[in-house]
Amino acid sequence: MGANPNTFEHSEDWAKAYQVTHHKLPVYPAVANYRLKANLQVGDTVNRNYRSSIIANDMGGDGSYVRQAVTDTKEQLVIDQEKEASFYIKDLDELQSHLPTRMKYAYDSGAALHNQIDADVLGAYGDFNLSLDDGDIGGTAGNGITVATTNVSKLFSRSLTKMQRNNIKMDNNARFTGFRKEDRMTERGIAIITPDVYQILLEYLEGKETALGDNVGINGHKGRFFGFDLFVSNNIAWSGVLAMATNPTDGDTVVINGVTFTFKDTLGTTAGNVHIGTAVDDTRANFAAALNAPTTDIAEAATTGFVAFDEYSSQHLALRNLTATNDNTADTLTVVMKGRGFVPVDETFTDGTDEWTAAKEVSHCLFGVANAIDLVIQKAPNTKVKDRTGYVGNDIVSWAAYGQKVFNESLNKMVDVQVRTDALS
C-alpha cells in the first residue's frame, strides 16, 4: 500500500555552530597602564612615594633663606581582586556533542573575567579629583548633564580646561620643548563614552563619521574629537539616588535593571520581598543590605527581612556589581552599578515625594589622559582543566588576580563626566 501523500515526516536537525554571543568590548587597556608589573615578582603589594611641595620664597636682604621641610608619602597598590568563571563538562556530554562545547564556554569565561576587570577599572571614577556636571555648563550644580547636540562639544572642551588648570598636559600630536623633561612630557587624551553620548556626537556632526578620523584597531575605538581618542563602552559605571523619606506602604515596589523589589508588612516567601521596618531609616538600611547581598536571606524581625534570589537567577545576574549606600541624614539610598552604563529604574511608592531623584541618574564617562590608572594583573585570565573527584568529567577553571590604584600623580588626570540617563530615550 502506497504512502499517504498527505502525511509528512518531521525531522529535527542541529546546526553545527553555536549562536553568536555578544560580549562587551573591554577598553581598560586604553585607560590603564601596567608599568608596575615588574615590581611584583614576590608579594602582592607595590609601594610608591610622592614628594611634598616646594615653593619659591623671597630671599632675605642679608641672603638668608628658609629651609622647607620635605616629606615623602607612601601609597600602595594591592593585589586584592581574585575572580573566577568556571564550569563543569561531563566527558560523555562532550563526546556526544556536535558543538565545540569546551572551547566556546572557555572563551565565554575568559570574556567574563576581562569584562570584570574592565568594569572595575572604569568604576574608579570616584577616585579622581575632577568631575564635570550640569553646573559646569551653565545648569544646576550636582545634577547630571542632559547631553544634546547643542552642548556635547562642551563635555570635551570643559574637561580639557579642568585638566589644564591642574597642569595636566594633554596633546596627541605636539611635544613641548621646555627646559625640564617633566614639562616636555604630554599625554594622549582619551574619552570613554556611552553609546548614547556617541550617538549624540554623531548627530552633532550630522552623521559625518569620517570627521572623527580613522580607527586604530583597538576595542571600542571610534576615532578622535577635540584631541581625545574616543572609546565607546557599555561597561561605564552608573549611579542613581533614591529618595525615601517615608516608610513604604505594603505592596510598594522599586525596580532596578528589571528586578522588582516589593515592600511587605509581612515578609512572606516571594523572592525580592523586603520587610517594612518600624521606621523608614530601618527599612532603607534593610533595603541597602538586601541590595548588597541579593542572594542572602535576611531573617524577618522588627527592622529586617529579605527573601533572596537564587544564586544564578536572572535577577542576580542583573544586579551584579551593585553597591548600595544608605544615608539617614539625607533620607536617600545611593546605588552604584559598575559595568552597566545605563540602568533603567522605577518605583511605585505611595508617597509621591519618594522617588528616583531627577537628574541624579548618571553614567560616569571618563575624559582624561591614557594610563591614568595603574593596573597590575598578577594572574591573567586563562583556562585550567582540573579532574573532578568522583565524576567522569572535568572542571574548566578560569581565574584572574589583579589590583588597581589611582596614585596621587594621577588624581587630576581624569574627569568624571556625569551624563544624565533618566533623560535618555
Distance CA 290, CA 319 (A): 11
CB-based burial label for 245 (10 Å; 0-12, 13-18, 19+): middle
Q: Identify the band that residue 95 occupies on the pLDDT scale cut at 50, 70 and 90.
A: confident
* Phi, psi dihedrals of residue 242, rounded to the nearest 5°: -100, 115
Q: State the cell numbers at 80.
A: 586584592
- Is it the case that residue 419 has pLDDT exceeding 60? yes
Distance CA 350, CA 243 (A): 13
Q: Check residue 224 and give its pLDDT.
A: 87
CB-based burial label for 402 (10 Å; 0-12, 13-18, 19+): buried
Q: Check residue 177 and give its pLDDT.
A: 42
Q: Identify the band that residue 211 occupies on the pLDDT scale cut at 50, 70 and 90.
A: low
Residue type, 248: P
Strands 130-132 and 414-420: parallel
Residue type, 219: N
The separation between the first and the last C-alpha atoms of the chain, rounded to the nearest angstrom, is 65
Domain ranges of the chain: 24-50+73-233+359-425, 238-358
> Domain 24-50+73-233+359-425 belongs to what architecture?
Alpha-Beta Complex (3.90)
CA atoms in the 13 A half-sphere facing the CB of 334: 10
CB-based burial label for 324 (10 Å; 0-12, 13-18, 19+): buried
Q: Check residue 175 and give its pLDDT.
A: 42
Q: Check residue 240 and give its pLDDT.
A: 98
pLDDT, one tens digit per residue, over 241-285 is 999 999 999 999 999 999 999 999 999 999 999 999 999 999 999
* Average pLDDT, rounded, for the chain: 87
Q: Identify the band that residue 21 occupies on the pLDDT scale cut at 50, 70 and 90.
A: low
- The mean pLDDT of 78-104, rounded to a whole number, is 83
- The mean pLDDT of 111-136, rounded to a whole number, is 95
How does 36-58 read in b/e, with b if 16+ C-beta sit within 10 Å?
beeebeeeeebebeeeeeeeeee
Q: State the cell numbers at 190.
A: 582619551
pLDDT, one tens digit per residue, over 307-366 is 999 999 999 999 999 999 999 999 999 999 999 989 999 999 999 999 999 899 999 999
> Distances in Å between the alpha carbon of 278 and those of 133, 264, 303, 304, 353?
37, 12, 6, 9, 20
Distance CA 99, CA 108 (A): 15
> Distances in Å between the alpha carbon of 114 and those of 125, 221, 359, 380, 385?
19, 17, 31, 9, 19
Q: State the cell numbers at 120.
A: 572595575
**The whole model's pTM is what?**
0.86
pLDDT, one tens digit per residue, over 355-400 is 999 899 999 999 999 989 999 998 888 888 888 888 998 888 999 9
Q: Check residue 48 and give its pLDDT.
A: 87
Q: Give the single-character DSSP code of 140.
A: -
